[in-house]
Chains A and B, each alone.
Chain A
Amino acid sequence: MSHSAEAHAETHSHPTWQLYVGIAVILFALTALEVGAYEVAERGIMGGFGVFVKEMVVEILLVLSAAKFALVAMFYMHLKQDSKIFSSVFVFPIILAALVILALLGLFVYNRGQNAIWNMPPWS
């Protein structure tokens, strides 16, 4: 396949507008779930389920946020259809960024003496 033909095929392999609408509906539903989880945790409603949500609210919000991130990246940014090189150029810094966040969190939590991660005495 020539370069121009390849580029042409690449352009026309993008999703249809019906898929875009479906993704938008899912994104709004996930956002509604995020705010719903926050409200349930905040108000302490819905009995035992509310207690579960309150205890797990950070994990729930992280999972929902990651799902929304992945949907936008795969379908709206066309990573699912485009060359894997683009995915690599995007995913590698994402992994690096996640490691930076975890390293900084670990470092600061450790220095504050809240050393539950490694169960070691703080440096200062």
Chain B
Amino acid sequence: MAHDAALHPPTSTGLDNRKLAIWTFIGSECMFFATLISTYVVYKGQSLRGPLPHEAWTDPATGQTLEHVFSIPLVTFGTAVLLFSSFFVVLALNGLQTGKMKQFVGWLAATVVCGLFFIGMQVFEFTHFVHEKHLGFTTNLFGSSFFTLTGFHGTHVTLGVLWLATLLYLGIRGKMGPEKALNLEIAALYWHFVDVVWIVIFPVVYLMK
């Protein structure tokens, strides 16, 4: 604790600057995702051609019918996995703060696995949309706004997985301890933010018609 205090002298707010910095960053990220979500919402239902998210579309020129795009069960499962990961990372933090290193490593590994599963789900979904549903980035307004919004979220998830995997590696090597719990707490805050963004994206994009 004395060593920690020497490294980080008291601040005028009495709060750790690193934690304040991550909250400020998360605040700016809220604005970033607000613009992406509002772009998706204002273009919702404005596509001049299909495929469409919830209903089939018939091309008037060729008579070809394209099925609806979304698969709700798959995304619901992905959402549940992301919620699980948020739960697991608080248990990992709880373990690290109380010096239970096995609990910390186990739950953090579970968090990383859940994050990887979510990324896999999204890669599968994107591939399926492009190859099976004929929906590309430039196909229509829906494709452009959908891939931009969910793609940026997926990138954030990927960065979060890399961050947590790095801490897991350090934990396995025995280089993490209760005195470094703030490092995990900051990464966990970012991870929870990625989760809350998905909590908004899931109903707005997938469930609202």
Q: Which chain A residues have a beta carbon within 8 Å of chain B's beta carbons?
A: 3-4, 6-8, 11-12, 14, 16-17, 20-21, 23-24, 27-28, 31, 34-35, 37-38, 41, 57-58, 61-62, 64-65, 68-69, 72-73, 76-77, 83, 85-86, 89-90, 92-94, 96-98, 100-101, 104-105, 108
Contacts and interface: CB of A to CB of B under 8 A. Distances in A.
Given A28-B83, A93-B28, A11 B207 contact: no
A38 B207 contact: yes
Interface in B56-81: 72, 76, 79-80
Contacts of B193: 77
A77 B83 contact: no
Given A65-B203, A72-B199, A104-B39, 15 more contacts: A3-B5, A17-B94, A27-B86, A31-B80, A34-B203, A35-B76, A61-B208, A62-B203, A65-B202, A76-B195, A86-B19, A89-B24, A90-B23, A93-B28, A104-B41
B15 A97 contact: no
The secondary structure that dominates the B interface is helix
The secondary structure that dominates the A interface is helix
A89 to B, nearest CB: 4
Given A101-B38, A105-B41, A94 B30 contact: yes
Contacts of A86: 15, 19-20, 23
Contacts, number: 133
7 contacts: A21-B87, A24-B84, A24-B87, A27-B83, A31-B79, A61-B204, A94-B30
A58 B34 CA distance: 18
B77 to A, nearest CB: 10
A30 B87 CA distance: 15
A111 to B, nearest CB: 10
Contacts of A8: 1
A14 B4 contact: no
Contacts of A94: 30
A73 B94 contact: no
B41 A35 contact: no
Contacts of A69: 196, 199-200
Contact of A104 (B33, B42, B90, B202): B42
A99 B42 CA distance: 14
A76 B195 CA distance: 11
Nearest to B189: A77
Contact of A28 (B4, B26, B80): B80
